[in-house]
Amino acid sequence: MRRRLSLRDERWPTRDAFVIARGAKSEAHVLLAQIEQDGVVGRGEAVPYARYGETMAGELAGAEALRDAVERGASRLELQDLAPAGAARNALDCALWDLEAKLTGTPAWALAGLRGLEPVTTCFTLSLDAPAAMAAAARAAAHRPLLKLKIGGAGDIDRVAAVREAAPASRLVVDANEALGFEDLRRLAPDLALLGVQLIEQPLRAGEDAALEGYDCPVLLCADESLHTRADLADCARRYGAVNIKLDKCGGLTEALAVAAQARAMGLQVMAGCMVATSLAMAPAMILAQGAEVVDLDGPLLLARDRAPGLVFTGSEIAPPSRDLWG
């Protein structure tokens, strides 16, 4: 057995500017890993994220440093000990899942111990903007059952109220991306509950969220930036009722599934999340999304174009990936 690893970065423009409390982006800059063995190619896609100190150059270098181990046949489990959690390991881990599925003829979901994949309903994200602009975006998306609003500044209640009026039938979650203080949260949460918001993602900055311990929030709180791997779950369980698990943060599907299993055992709800990326990055997360209380895999819907073949979206429902795409 001899493998060959290839790495490259790709840029996929977004449909519109994607704006959160930390800033805006106009493209998804993704790392693509391909591992070829016996004429079969396994693929994985990841997104280096500056918030976690990652750059494309750094993650490419990190993946390149693993070339010898991967080409000599390192397994997914061995990879966990060879590299830290992050985008580089995610791309390689997902490529190894895909390669194993294709070489053995066993679908990735079966390798993960599932009996099959069911369609899931994803959030659709509305970028941070003025209330009127967010209302217009919500009106255009009012047919979607679950909307996720980016918040993070003065006027947040006005934003959420405008979206609620524009999309009265949609369930709402809000994502602050660490932009609130504890007193901001205490002030906003009762009004958010009255507006029907079902979940608040990462209100406080990671590492500064111990204030949430003992706080009885009227809306379910979900860790995002505070949750990367199983090592973070004990702290999260004292502060949140749910965790947003993303393959890029976990360093791949292997760790993500382990995080989800342990989180559920601790009584935490699971959100299957994503970075803005193509269907190739979402496909492995469809395994994670099975049974998740909230699914947020709308990355391809935010792009101007997607990979072909890509995931099939019917409104907000995502069909299981074809094996031509991944797994």
Q: Which of 25, 102, 148, 246 is catalytic?
A: 246
Range of the domain at 41: 3-106
Question: Which of 72, 106, 140 is at the close of a domain?
Answer: 106
150 given a catalytic annotation: yes
19 occurs within a structural domain: yes
Q: Which of 102, 148, 150, 249 is catalytic?
A: 150
User: How does pLDDT run along the chain (327 residues), one tens digit per residue?
Assistant: 789 999 999 999 999 878 786 777 899 999 999 999 999 999 999 999 999 999 999 999 999 999 999 999 999 999 999 999 999 999 999 999 999 999 999 999 999 999 999 999 999 999 999 999 999 999 999 999 999 999 987 899 999 999 999 999 999 999 999 999 999 999 999 999 999 999 999 999 999 999 999 999 999 999 999 999 999 999 999 999 999 999 999 999 999 999 999 999 999 999 999 999 999 999 999 999 999 999 999 999 999 999 999 999 999 999 999 999 999
H/E stretch holding 267 reads none
The answer as to whether 90 is a domain residue is yes
Q: Quote the pTM value.
A: 0.96
Is residue 111, in this structure, part of any structural domain at all? no
| 128 and 30 belong to one structural domain | no
- Which three-class secondary structure state does DSSP give residue 198? strand
The torsion angle over the Cα atoms of residues 286, 290, 295 and 299, rounded to 10 degrees, is: 0
Q: Looking at the domain assignment, is residue 166 inside a domain?
A: yes
**Is the same domain home to 202 and 170?**
yes
Predicted pLDDT at 281: 98
Which of 48, 82, 106 is the C-terminal boundary of a domain? 106
Residue 25 annotated among the catalytic residues of the structure = no
For residue 327, is it within any domain? no
AA letter at 294: V
- Residue 112 placed within a domain: no
* Domain containing residue 235: CATH number: 3.20.20.120
CA distance 66 to 69: 5
Is 115 a domain residue?
no
Number of domains in the chain: 2
Residue 22 near residue 69 (C-beta atoms within 8 A):
no
Question: Is 152 among the domain residues?
Answer: yes
- Of 44, 76, 106, the last residue of a domain is 106
CATH number at residue 16: 3.30.390.10
